[in-house]
Each structure stands twice: as structure tokens, then as C-alpha cells.
Amino acid sequence: MEATEKHDVVIVGGGHNALVAGTYLARAGLSVTLLERLPHVGGAAISAPVFDGLDARLSRYSYLVSLMPQALIDELGLDLELRSRDTASYTPYDDGGLLVETAPGQATEESFRTLTGSDDELEAWRRFYAEVGTVADAIAPTLLEPLPHIGELRDQVEMAIWTDLVDEPIGTALERRFAHDLVRGVVGTDALIGTFASLHDRSLVQNRCFLYHLIGNGTGEWRVPVGGMGAVTAELERVARGAGVDIRTNCEVDGIDAYDVGATVCGDGFVIEADWVLSGVAPYVLARLIGKPTPPKPSGSQFKINLLVSRLPRLRSGIDPAIAFAGTLHIGESMSELERAYAQAAAGALPERASGELYCHTLTDRSILGPELADSGAQTLTYFGLHTPYEVLPDETAAATAYEQFLTAINAHLAEPIEPLILGVEHKTPAQIEDALAMPGGHIFHGDLQWPWLEEDEKPRHPGERWGVATSHPRVLLCGSGARRGGAVSGIAGHNAAHAILDALPIMGGPGTADNVAPASRH
């Protein structure tokens, strides 16, 4: 039997959220040990040299940052550069395409006019995003606070946009506000990233996904982390170690024995007692570790491809590839195509045609390439395919078919086939992401996203519930993507779990002295 160690807090899993939580707690004077099963921390927020023999360190899984609050970056003292892109999106369509600049100007206006024949659709677009901005302005400042009640947010915005985003399936708003199938789809894709649903789904899971994609820092802008996602994790690891977090890699947790005043965490060669356990792993994984009945297993729905190309391919529309690929390049993402792909996948088949989006991060940040590649015309391309759930991509054969479908879909818009330009490729199905990252079902958010507020009748009883990080056990809190406001690379769940503990401690008599009290209310 191993000697038992004792710490104030043990964090299970070493994703970016765990690093954030550990830093706040260690800075507050608690002893914190973080246990990660892989040889490195970062979870899905890492960079890696994914192509054998090629000097390119790509953001292997997640790649863009929007939801990490600037206040959190400042508080932690992270040295990060998040770079804006001039192109928001480009969507090839027949022999033309729809260009949307990040700051929409003349090129955007002309593009809408050419596609739709008038200025009406652009006006509808501007109106919609201005209204969405009011919702973002209301919600963003609350993300690092205890959960607000729904009414506090609803009262700050016009009822029409609230209804569109929160009360009715987003597909209804898209059809009412926009006339063009392509425009509807370009807006609607934000509802479907990592979320397997129809735009008309009554569960509104797609609305929640849409909301999270539009509220980051009040602007909803997605920026490229210079140096890749690995640079974000490297900074988080630096401040965590600096604060005194004891980070242990190659340490897989096999079980958690939770009791009223703490928990024991064990794995191969270690048994650690703690007053608090933070779970940076998915709620489904936590249930298994703690010996509770597992909730339904989440199912991821994305097909991720990383490519290195010798140069960008030319497009049929004649647009400069450096403009078209600089933002989100939508492929097969008109609303009707998205709905068709969903219906086919929901019926258990791989959709006949690929729907997804492509990004070229090296147009914004060449530092992820080694000197030789950086001096050449080489570029990375990252594809995030939608509506390809775990169940329809069971094996290598299905993955190879999905990859061929991607090539067909992109080539349809190119003036030359992409294949001769490809220097390196890797693709990841949800099952492969599950294997690599222990994200159940390969679900990129550890499970479906939740509204970032309390319903009117929800009365939080202790800090864990007030911060949206509670589990059924009072001394085990969620600090990862499965927390109430956890999805994405944001650090929000880590921050909020740490604050739930810190809020509980004064009531209990300070670090390390917790007795038999469930955390009580301070707010």
C-alpha cells in the first residue's frame, strides 16, 4: 500500500482549465496537485509537429480563441498575442462567393450585392449582428461572476433578439431574417460547431452553441493565438508552476472516493487525500471515476483535418486565395446543405456531401512553421467538418471516405485540384479524439453546452451551484469544459471552480481547515 499524501486541492486532468484553476488556488495559498494522464498538459489546447519530417507545429485540435476573457488573461499575467484577421469569412458559391470582412467595407457590400441582387440581405445581416452584440454585451461581463438569473440578462436586451436566440430554434430566426439560403447557412454554422443538431432542433442545443460562439469578450471575434494553441497552454503552465502548482504528468486517475469533508484520489502508484477535488475531465468520465451511474455518453460530431500545402490553391471565383483562406472558408454550408447533412447523419449514414469550414492560420501567424517552410509558400489548412458523428465514422474506412468527400467538396470550388499541393495530412474522427484526449465520444465540449445563467426558479445553495461548477458531491467540483459555462478554450470553468472553493473557505475557517460543513452562501 502506497503512503497517502494530503493536499488542499487535487485537480484531475491537466487541460487548460485545470491550469487556470490551479493557478488561482495556489496563488491564494492552497496546496494544489494536478494529475494528468498524458505526458504533457493542455488537453485539446496543444500544438504538435503532426507531420513526420516536416517542421510545422500546428494547433492540433482547438485553434482559435474568443471566449477567454481579457480580464482573466490580465489577472493571470499571460503573455499572449491573439491576432485578428481581416477576413471574417469567404463562402465559394457557383463561380463566385460571399466575402465578409471582419470590419465590413466596400468589398463586403459588393459581395452581398452580387450574390443576392440587392442591399437587403446585407442590411439584415448588419441589423442581426448589432442585436446579437447587445446580448453579448449583457452576458460577457457575467462569465467570471457567479451565475446571473435569466431575468437579469433578458431585461437588458430587446425581446425580439432574445426570443430569436433563446426561446425559439435559431433556424426560425434565420429563415425570418434572411432570404438567401447561403447567407442563412453562413450565419447558422456558429450553431453547429461541435454540436450535432438541426438548426430547428426543439432542444435548442444549437442555440446555446450559437450564443457561445458570439459572446466572447462582448465581440464574438475569434482570433489566432500567435505560436498556436500550444503557446496558450505554455503560458498557462508557466503561471501555474510559478504559483506553486505541483504538476504531475503520466498520472492517470483510476478512482475518486468522495466523502463529506474531502476525497481520496488514486491511480497507479499514488493515493492522495484532499479537502477538495476539481474535475477537469468530462462529467461522464468523472461519474465513472467516482463510481456513480454514468450519464448518457456524449457524442462528438466533427471530422478534423490538418493539412500542410506547398502553397494555397487558386479558386474558381478568381478571388485572391490570401483573402479567401484568411478567415473561415465555408464549404457546403448553405442552410439547406447543412440540414440535409444533418438529416442523413441522424439517419445513421455518413452525409453524401461534406459540410465544414477551412482555415489557414499561417496567413496570420507564420511562427508555427520552421524557417525553411516559412520562407517557402507553404501554408497550413485546418478543416472542421460538421455532422459527422461518432457513430457514422466508426473506423479507418469511414474516415478515408470522409476525407475523400472533403477533397471533392473543396476541389469543386478550386481552379486546380488541391491534392498535388498537399505535403502532409492527418485527420481525426470523434473516436480518435476520444482515444487521444479521453473526451467521451470525442465531444469537443465534454457534453452539450448549457445556458450561461440560472433559470428563475433555480436557487443555488452553495458556492459550487452559484458558480455553475457543482457536482452531486459537495467537495468535488467541475473545473473543465463540462461546467455550466465551460465549453471552449476560455479558462472560465477553471476560474469559476477556483472561486467557488475560495468563496467556501472563509465560512469554513480558511485553507486546509474544512470540517464537516457543505459550502454555504456568501453572495
Total residues in contact with ligand FAD, by rule CB under 6 A: 40
Is residue 43 close enough to count as binding ligand FAD by CB under 6 A?
A: yes
The C-alpha cell at 283 is 462529467
Residue 173 main-chain phi, psi, to 5 deg: -65, -40
Q: Is 253 in the site for ligand FAD (CB under 6 A)?
A: yes
Is the Cβ of residue 178 or residue 212 nearer to ligand FAD in the bound state?
212
283 binds ligand FAD (CB under 6 A): no
Q: Tell me the closest approach of the beta carbon of residue 37 to ligand FAD, in angstroms.
A: 4
Q: Is 452 exposed, middle or buried (0-12, 13-18, 19+ CB in 10 A)?
A: buried
Does 292 bind ligand FAD (CB under 6 A)? Our answer is no
Residue 38 binds to ligand FAD (criterion: CB under 6 A): yes
One of 99, 173, 182, 285 touching ligand FAD (CB under 6 A) = 285
- Site string (482-511) toward ligand FAD, x via CB under 6 A: ----xxxx---x------------------
The verdict on 438 binding ligand FAD (CB under 6 A) reads: yes
Determine if 307 is a binding residue for ligand FAD (CB under 6 A).
no
Q: How far is the C-alpha of 411 from the C-alpha of 433, rounded, in Å?
A: 26
Q: Indicate the residue among 16 and 413 with the shorter CB distance to ligand FAD.
A: 16
Q: Considering the rule CB under 6 A, would residue 85 count as an interface residue with ligand FAD?
A: no
Please provide the DSSP assignment of 460-506 as one string: --SHHHHTT-B-SSTTEEE-STTSTT--SS-SHHHHHHHHHHHHHHH
The residue (of 14 and 463) whose beta carbon lies closer to ligand FAD is 14
Nearer to ligand FAD, 452 or 486 (CB): 486
Grid coordinates belonging to 391:
457513430
Q: Which of residues 8-37 bind ligand FAD (CB under 6 A)?
A: 12-18, 35-37
Integer Cα distance of 487 and 209 in angstroms:
9
Find how far residue 348's CA is from the centre of its chain.
Answer: 25
What H or E segment, with its residue span, contains residue 324? helix 321-324
Cβ distance 506 to 35 under 8 Å? Answer: no
Shortest distance (Å) from residue 179 CB to ligand FAD: 30
Q: Is 430 an interacting residue with respect to ligand FAD (CB under 6 A)? A: no
Least gap, CB of 386 to ligand FAD (angstroms): 12
- Residue 17 · residue 480 · CB < 8 Å: yes
Encode burial over 153-177: b for 16+ CB neighbours within 10 A, e otherwise: bbeebeeebbebbbeebbbebbbeb
- The 441-470 site mask, x for binding ligand FAD (CB under 6 A), equals ---xx-------------------------
User: Parallel, antiparallel, or unpaired: how do β-strands 303-309 and 328-331 relate?
Assistant: unpaired
Q: Residue numbers of the site for ligand FAD (CB under 6 A)?
A: 12-18, 35-38, 43-45, 61-65, 67, 252-253, 280-281, 285, 302, 304, 433, 437-439, 444-445, 480-481, 486-489, 493
